[in-house]
Amino acid sequence: MTAIGTSVARADGPLKVTGQVQYTVDTQLPGMLHAKVLRSPYPHARVLAVDATAAAARPGVVVLTAADLTNLDHAFGVALRDQPIVAIDRVRFVGDPVAAVAADTPEAAEAALEFIDVEYEPLETVMDPEAAAADDAPVLHPVERPRAPMFVGWPAERFRGSLNVCSGYHVEQGDLDAGFASADHVFEDTYRVPPIHHGNLEPHAAVASWDHRGHLNVISSTQSPSIVRLQLAEIFGLTENQVRVVVPYVGGAYGSKVYAKIEPLVAAIARKAGRPVRLVLTREEVFATAARHACTVHIRTGVRNDGTIVAREVRAFYDTGAYADTGPRASKKGGYLAGGPYRIEHQSLTSYCVYTNKAPAVAYRGFGVPQVVWAYESQMDDIAARLAIDPLELRRRNLIRDGDTFVTGDVLRNPGLDEALEAVAEAGDWGSPVPEARPGFAIGRGVACAIKSTSTPSNSAASVRLNADGSVHLLTSSVEIGQGSTTALAQVIAETLSIPVSRVTVSLPDTDVTPFDQSTISSRTTFSVGRAATDAAAKIRQQLMSLAASQLEAAVTDLDVDEGSVFVRGSRDRSLTFAEIIRRHFGSPAGSLFGDSVFQTRGGLDPLTGKGKASATWFYSAAAAEVEVDLETGKARVLRIATSADVGKAINPAQCHLQNEGSMLTALGSALFEEVVYDAGQPTNSSFLDYGMPSLEDHPLEFHSILVEHPSEDGPFGARGVGESVISPVAPAIGNAVAAALGGARVRELPISPERVLAAVDQQPEARA
Amino acid sequence: MTINGRRVSIDADPSESLAYVLRERLRLTGTKISCDVQVCGACTVLVDGLPVSSCTYLAYEARGREVLTVEGLAHTDGALDPLQRAFIEDNAFQCGYCTGGMLLAAHAYLADEQDGDSGENVFEALAGNICRCTGYVPIVAAVLRVRDG
Ligand code: FES
Ligand code: FES
C-alpha cells in the first residue's frame, strides 16, 4: 500500500467547497437564546457594584452576574485557576467580562447590556511585563491562585519580584562565569516582541444547554474537547460523563481555542436561562480573549574568535496578560529553548510569566518559542558580522548533532536540522551575489533556524472500528482545525490495514463517544493520535489474522494482509476479504471488530532543576529570506523566502506544505507589521480595519517549502509533526536580511516597521544608507 | 430577490445585512462572518455577478437582484463547478472558513476574464480575501488552472 507519503485529497474537501461544512457558529438549537457580554472599559479597576435589575426586567432577558456564580467553582485556568467566569470584585483588562445577557436575538441581548449599571473604582495599571515583575508594581491578583491539578508548577516565589510573577522556569549547565571568562567577545542585547492576534477567521463560539438529568451539553469551537469537559466538570461539580463536548469543524484556531475560553460563561448563563444559549464573539471580543505573549528577552552570549559559542545567559519576561491561561507552560517552553539549537557548554536560562493589564495571552502557534528564537537568531548574525564569519557557517559550527544532550537532559536523536538549514540556504542561493537593488533600495539576505519541543507527558486514545463491509471508522477526540487531521489519520490507518484511504472515515470529537485526547495542540496530532490510531488499527489487523487463520486453516505466521484481504503467503488464491472474515465469524454479514489503543508519552521537567525529559519528539526548522528595503520610507518587502521543516516522515506532503506556507505567511506578518497596540491600557486596533494580516499582496514573489525527513523513533511511520515548525525562524531570517541590507543596522523589536528601520539606520551612521 | 437561481421573498428589517439574512433567516450558512467590517472577504457573495461583502451590504440593497452564494456554485445536477474541483485538487484550503468567499471572488474574476475583461490580475482580484491558514499559494494555483483551462 502507498497511503503514506501520498498527497491524497482532503477528506473534508467536498464539504468545504460547497458551504455544507458546519462550524460551531452555524449551530442553531430549538429554543436557543443568544448571549452578549458586558465587558470592562477599564484596564484595571475594583468592581464596587453591579446592578442588573433594569436589564433583568426586560422581557425575555436573562442576566448573569457574579451574584449567580453560586453552587459552582467560579474560577478556571489550566495552570492556575485565576480566571473568574465573570468579574467578582475586580477587572484586570479592557474587555474583561463583567456580566452576560441572553435573549431571543443577539440584538435584544446587546440592547439589554445598556441597562446594567456597574460602578468601578479605577486602579493603577501596569502594561510592561518587566515592570510588572518588579516588587513595587501594582498587583493584579493579590491572593495567590490555586494550581490546576494538571499543571506541574514551579515555585513562583523563586522568581519574584511582585506577585504578578505567576510562574517561572530556570535551567542551567556548566559554569556561566567561567564560560564568559573564556569568551573573546560578549554580546548583550534586549529583544522585544509585542502581543499579536491569532486571526482565526471563525471567532470563538459555543452553544450550551442543560438537560433534565442535570447534564451539560456543549458544542464548541475548542481545540481541547477532552480538557474542556474536565474543566466544565470541575466548575459545575459534575462527573466527566455528565458533560458532553461536541466539536464541529473549526474555522481556524492556531492556539486561540486551546482549553476553556468562553465555554464556562456560556454554560453558566444557559444554566440560569434553562434554555440553550449560543455565544459567538465579535472580532473585537476575539481580540479581548486571546493573544500571543508579548515578551522581553535579555540575551548575553560569549563567543570565541573561531565562532564557538561558549556561554549564554537568557532572561525572558513573558507577558501573560490578566490571567495565566497557558502562560506558565508557554514561558517554560520558551525558557528551556532560549539557548537555541546549539552546543553551548555554559548556559543559564530563565523565564518569567508575568501578569499585566492586557488581554490574556494564550497558546499561539509556536507556544512561547518564536519570541526567544527572534532574540537568539538575530543576535547570531550580529556575532557573525563582528567575527566576520558567514552567518550560515557560524550556525554550522555550533549546531547540535545526533546524540547530543540538550540543556534539559534530553538526548536528541537524528535531528534534521543541518539538512533543513542547508536546504534553505541552497534554495535561497546563499553565497551567490545578492541582486542589484533599484536606486533608493537595498537588498539583503538572512537565514535562521530553530528547535521546538512537544507537550510532554501527554496522552491520546484512539478507537478503530472495522465494519462488516470492510470499511473503517476511527473514533478520536482530535479536532479538525484545518490542519488535515481527518485526512492524515485515515492515511495511517489505511496503511496499517492495507486498505484504500477512501475506506476510512475519521470522527469529529464528541466526548460521549470519542476517547480522550490531550488537545489538538503542540504539533502533536499526527505524532500522538496518529500513533494511537496506528496501534489500534494494528490490533484489528491482528484479530483479522487470527480469525482468518482458523477460517483458512493456516498458521497466523503464514498470513499477510493486502488490499483488504488476508491471504496465505505464497498462495494468493487462499485469501479472504475483511468482509468475508467478519461474515464467517459472526455467521452473518453484520457486526464489527474493535481496536483500542492509548499512546502515552512520558517525561516532564523537575520543578527545581528544570531538567528531565522535556519532549517526546523535537521539531527542527529553518528559513532563508531575501528582503528589499526602501531606504527612503524604511519599508521592507520580502522578495523570496525558503522554509524547511524536519517532519520526520510526511504522511501527506501536500498538507505538510500547507502548514509550512501558512506558518511562513503568519510569521511574515508578525515580522513586518502585526501588533496589538495599547494606549494607556486601552487596546486601539482590535478590528481588521486597523490590525492588518498578510493578504495575497504581501506574499513573497518566490516561496519554497522544503520537507526534511529524519524519522522519529515513536511517531507513526517516523512522523514528527509539522504544525508549528516554520513559525519560529521566519521573523529572524527576515530581520537578518533587513540588517544585511542596511549594513548591519538592526531592529531588535518586532514588528520591523518602517519607523524602526529608519531609526536603526539613524543610530548606526556607518550603515550603508 | 433571486438567491442561487431561486426566487425568494422575505420580510427583513431595513438595517439587516445580507449576511444576516442569508445565515439566520435563510439558513444559508456557507456565507461566513469574520471581521464584520468589509476587510476579510469571508462573507463575499455575488450580487448581479459582482462581489460584495455581505456583512456590510444591506439585504435591502439586494431587492430584485440576483445573489449567488457558495451553496449555489455547484451545478443543478449536483456536479461540482470546475473551480470547486480545482480547490479540492490543489488543496486550496485548510479550515475552509475563507473558502466560500474565496470561491466567489475567484468566480467573479474568472467570469471577467472570460468576458475578455482582464482589468485585474488574480492577485488583485483576491487581495480582499484573507486566508490565515494556507498562505495562498494553492489558491492562486487553483484559480489559474481553471482560467488557463
Ligand atoms: S466578514 Fe465581511 S468582510 Fe469580513
Ligand atoms: S482555509 Fe482557513 S482561513 Fe483560509
To test the pocket of ligand 1, the residue of B22, B37, B99 to mutate (highest count of ligand atoms within 8 Å of its CB) is: B37
Task: Give the number of the ligand closest to the Cα of residue B18.
Answer: 1
> CB distance B36–A200 less than 8 Å?
no
What CA–CA distances, in Å, run from B50 to A531, A564, B44, B67? Answer: 48, 50, 10, 9
Would you call B33 an interface residue with chain A, using a CB distance cutoff of 8 Å?
Answer: yes
User: What is the distance, to the nearest Å, from the Cα of residue A150 to the centroid of all Cα atoms in its chain?
Assistant: 18
> CB distance B88–A249 less than 8 Å?
no
How large is the greatest C-alpha to C-alpha distance in chain B, in angstroms?
A: 44
Give A152's pLDDT tier (boundaries 50, 70, 90). low
Question: Residues with beta carbon inside 6 Å of ligand 2?
Answer: A 201, 252, 482; B 93-98, 131-134
Q: Which residue is closest to B137 within chain A, CA to CA?
A: A661
pLDDT of residue A154 exceeding 80: no
Task: Give the number of the ligand closest to the Cα of residue B97.
Answer: 2
> CB distance B127–A249 less than 8 Å?
no
Q: What is the pLDDT of residues A70-102, one digit of tens each?
A: 899 999 999 999 999 999 999 999 999 999 999
What CA–CA distances, in Å, run from A444 to A428, A627, A698, A750? Answer: 11, 6, 18, 18
Q: What is the pLDDT of residue A153?
A: 63
Q: Which residues of A touch B128 (CB under 8 A)?
A: 695
Q: Please classify residue A459 by burial: count the beta carbons closer than 10 Å to its beta carbon, then call 0-12 exposed, 13-18 middle and 19+ buried.
A: middle
Q: Which of A646, A660, A649 is nearest to A726 (CA)?
A: A660
Q: What is the pLDDT of residue A144?
A: 81
Q: What is the pLDDT of residue A2?
A: 85
Would you call A249 an interface residue with chain B, using a CB distance cutoff of 8 Å?
Answer: yes
Which pTM value belongs to this model? 0.97
Residues A86 and A69 sit within 8 Å (Cβ to Cβ): yes
DSSP 3-state percent helix, strand, coil across chain B (nearest 5): 35, 10, 50
**Which of B69, B88, B95 has its CB closest to that of A252?**
B95
The CATH number that domain B2-72 falls under is 3.10.20.30
Report the pLDDT averaged over residues A465-492: 97
**Cα–Cα distance between A676 and A359 in angstroms, integer?**
10
CB hemisphere CA count around A606 (13 angstroms):
10
Residues of chain A above pLDDT 70, percent: 99
> CB distance B34–A203 less than 8 Å?
yes
Q: What is the pLDDT of residues A642-683, one digit of tens each?
A: 999 999 999 999 999 999 999 999 999 999 999 999 999 999
> CB distance B129–A696 less than 8 Å?
yes
Quote the ipTM score. 0.98
**C-alpha of residue A4 to centroid of ligand 2, in Å:** 25
Classified by CATH at the fold level, domain B82-147 comes out as DNA polymerase; domain 1 (1.10.150)
Q: What is the pLDDT of residues A188-209, one digit of tens each?
A: 999 999 999 999 999 999 999 9
Would you call B84 an interface residue with chain A, using a CB distance cutoff of 8 Å?
Answer: yes
To test the pocket of ligand 2, the residue of A201, A481, A688, A693 to mutate (highest count of ligand atoms within 8 Å of its CB) is: A201
Q: Which residue is closest to A281 within chain B, CA to CA?
A: B34
Which domains are seen in chain A, by residue range?
24-123+201-252+256-287 (3.90.1170.50), 294-455+606-767 (3.30.365.10), 458-601 (3.30.365.10)
**C-alpha of residue A550 to centroid of ligand 1, in Å:** 62
Q: Which residues of B touch A696 (CB under 8 A)?
A: 123, 126-127, 129, 136, 139-140
What CA–CA distances, in Å, run from A546 to A299, A474, A553, A620? Answer: 60, 22, 10, 41
Q: What is the pLDDT of residues A343-396, one digit of tens each?
A: 999 999 999 999 999 999 999 999 999 999 999 999 999 999 999 999 999 999
Report the pLDDT averaged over residues A724-744: 97
Q: Which of A516, A376, A368, A377 is nearest to A455 (CA)?
A: A368
Domain limits, chain B:
2-72, 82-147
Q: What is the pLDDT of residue A678?
A: 98
**Cα–Cα distance between B24 and A308 in angstroms, integer?**
63
Q: Which residues contact A597 (CB under 8 A, 6 or more apart)?
A: A461, A462, A532, A533, A535, A536, A538, A539
> A with B: how many residue pairs have Cβ under 8 Å apart?
159
> CB distance B96–A200 less than 8 Å?
no
Q: What is the pLDDT of residue A701?
A: 85
Q: What are phi and psi of B36, to 5 degrees?
A: 70, 15
**C-alpha of residue A670 to centroid of ligand 1, in Å:** 22
pLDDT tens digits for chain B (149 residues)?
Answer: 999 999 999 998 999 999 999 999 999 999 999 999 999 999 999 999 999 999 999 999 999 999 999 999 999 898 999 999 999 999 999 999 999 999 999 999 999 998 887 678 899 999 999 999 999 999 999 999 999 98
Would you call A437 an interface residue with chain B, using a CB distance cutoff of 8 Å?
Answer: no
**Cα–Cα distance between B1 and B9 in angstroms, integer?**
6
Task: Give the number of the ligand closest to the Cα of residue A16.
Answer: 2
